[in-house]
Amino acid sequence: MRRRQATPAVLADGRALGAAMLRRLFIGQCLVLALHLAFMPAWLAGLAALVAGYRALQLRRRLPRAGVVLRLAGVAALTAGLWLQYGTLGRMEAMIGLLLGVYLLKLLETHTRRDARVVVLIGLVATTVAFLHDQGIPVALGALLAVAWLLHSLVCLAGASDARLAWRESAWLLGLSAPLMVLLFLAFPRFGPLWNLPQAERAATGLSDEIAPGDIAELSRSDRRAFRARFLGDAPAPAERYWRVYTLSDFDGERWRRATAARLGLGRGALAAEGRRSPWPPSGEPRFEAELLLEPDSRPWRPSLGAPLASDERLRWLADGTVEGLSPLASRSLLRLSSSGQAPGWPDPLGARWHTRLPEEGNPRSRALAERLWRETGGAPRAYLEALMARFGEAPFRYTLTPPRLTSRDRVDEFLFESRAGYCTHYASAMAVLARAAGLPARIVAGFLGGERHPDGHFTVRDYDAHAWVEVWLDGGWQRLDPTAAIAPERIEQGAGAIEDGGEAFLADSGFSPLRMREIGWVNRLRLGWERMEYRWQREVIGYRDQARTALMARLVERLHAFWETLLGALPGRGPLGWLAGLAIAAGLLAGLGGGLALAWRARREGRDEALRIRRLQAWLARRGLPPREGESPAAHLRRLAEAAGPAGPALRDCAHQLERLRYAPLAAAERRERRRVLGRRVAEVRRRLPRHRAGG
């Protein structure tokens, strides 16, 4: 009878790949590509399908192998497509697309195991690159699945013919790497990037540094998240959650813009200073300290609750009471910021003349109204502003999410005397113009109002929380005036969703938003639970920095010290004898832990190497006076001892039999695993049943 040849453990790198391995590589490519599709062109999926289809037909000998011309044409088409998509190849998204495209096209020239290993390694790099897009929980879970599959492919390429064995080996390798990964994550700080790549304009919020009446109303249609905040002390009341982002003081009759040093032709340090603390004199002690989790944004804005005062990182502090980062946010970032909760108490360096500036012509009816109200209030600034607020609070003015379009040149006049319906920017713009027409310095502040409070205490601020209000220089400081509070107080207390007029526009661009089902209890609980988990992931895992590492190490040392004190307290004395006893107990615990790990490692090695297991059994027998004779094989040694081993005899004979089968018989992988398990049980039986008094041989 012809003996079946044993399958070699490792095949040569030059051996051709079969359809099963190519299919495994293609599935790995699909898993990696899925991590990028939300951020990359969808036509890359079509490229993957074309390459897979060509290889499938080529394996069936319907198409020839892809030659150099076809491969170069594929690379050229990929490069041209990315150029047309992004307009350049120097941006991060284009570079990632080029990596993914080469990864997919590599399958055209993958014919040997060496080629397949290259494909898998490129896939591991592409999986890591996915975290440049997003570092959320779904991407992390998807990356773990992709890495497991790619590792499984490497194990199969190493010669594992049984799928179950390959998966077990892959799980074992992942399990071994997990403790090292956790140790490196906890003990070593996260370094900043060595270089930065140009990125596409990615705004986390629709706010911009210039607005016109009606602009912010468009943001009520979106539930996109702008940032999240957690207060380290008392949280502000709903009416105090005014998040400043931009201060707009340049008005051309239609739009309000920021007055930047570059736009005014001033020196860079004229209106801003860099550092960890604001150089502008505060009006009081910090009232709020918040930890902000900011979304990625191509602009360097940072929100503050009132005038910003100090931060845990270097920022650019502007004279108008706002703050900017030194660079845009390429990914989610944590920022700790203390603020006053109030409008700035210091004068703007541009002076009162700038903040009372209006176009020479335009809005004549608004100017006439301001002149009349100023006379009626006797030229008293506070009385004048109270009259304006009272006028806005009267009918027929109404607050709506769908304001009518203003088309005339005198848009403030058109709003005040004709449409009389608008959103926060309509009322803020009209209020600022009327204040300036009376000679009062005024400016608009664009930012956010409110935010959804979660059960764990943090706040989520979204696009639809965008808001605009007015600051007027009065009695030696800037005073906040919000006409919305007079027209729609429910907007201040409950948010944009509480506005009934035009409410169909709320979240109109977010048709599948779970916020639409907040009234359904279990859906809302699921939403809040997911957002809480995602927030903790971003804050405690992705946001793990030097401060968090130092705090964690301090907590570990504190707990070890508390355990030590508890241990010493349980001893009869706390003198030198107690310390020695404590050291002995600690040494015993460490020795026990080390011994347990050593035994586990030894059992693992013996389970994979039958020769090692038998050698250790022979050494154990030798220590009991039953050594092998010179030139005697292990199997012969065990069979000789079995004759006089009493109850351990059958186990010794079976050990010899299993050893010979494992060493010399052509066994399938499943049978080999089973015989190794049987051998382990027989060795344990020998150790248990061999009489202790037996010796000699």
Q: Own/partner pairs for 576-580, CB < 8 Å, 24+ apart? A: none
Question: Which are the contacts of 146, defined by CB distance < 8 A and separation ≥ 6?
Answer: 28, 31, 32, 35, 123, 127
467 counts as catalytic? yes
The dihedral sign for the CA sequence 24, 25, 29, 32: positive
Catalytic residue among 134, 297, 482, 654: 482
Q: How many CB atoms lie within 10 A of CB 88?
A: 11
What is the rounded distance in angstroms from the CA atom of residue 220 to the CA atom of residue 387?
29
Query: Token digits for 688?
Result: 């248990």
247 φ/ψ angles, rounded to the nearest 5 degrees: -110, 125
Cα 69 from Cα 654, distance rounded (Å): 63
Contacts of 60 (CB under 8 A, 6+ apart): none
Residue 182 φ/ψ, nearest 5 degrees: -65, -40
Indicate if 482 belongs to the active site. yes
Cβ atoms of 117 and 79 within 8 Å: the answer is no
130 within 8 A of 139, measured Cβ to Cβ: yes
DSSP-assigned letters across all residues of 455-487? TTS-EEEEGGGEEEEEEEEETTEEEEE-HHHHH
- SS3 assignment, position 133: coil
The radius of gyration computed from the CA coordinates of the chain, to the nearest angstrom, equals 37
Q: Are 296 and 221 in contact (CB under 8 A)?
A: no
User: Choosing from 152, 355, 458, 467, which is the catalytic residue?
Assistant: 467
- The whole-angstrom separation of Cα 562 and Cα 583 is 15
8 Å CB contact between 87 and 68: no
Task: For residues 423 and 434, give the distance between their C-alpha atoms in angstroms, rounded to a whole number.
Answer: 17
Pairing verdict, β 421-422 and 398-399 = parallel
Active-site option among 424, 426, 465, 654: 424
Give CA separation, 183 vs 187, 333, 541, in Å.
6, 23, 13
The catalytic residues are: 424, 467, 482
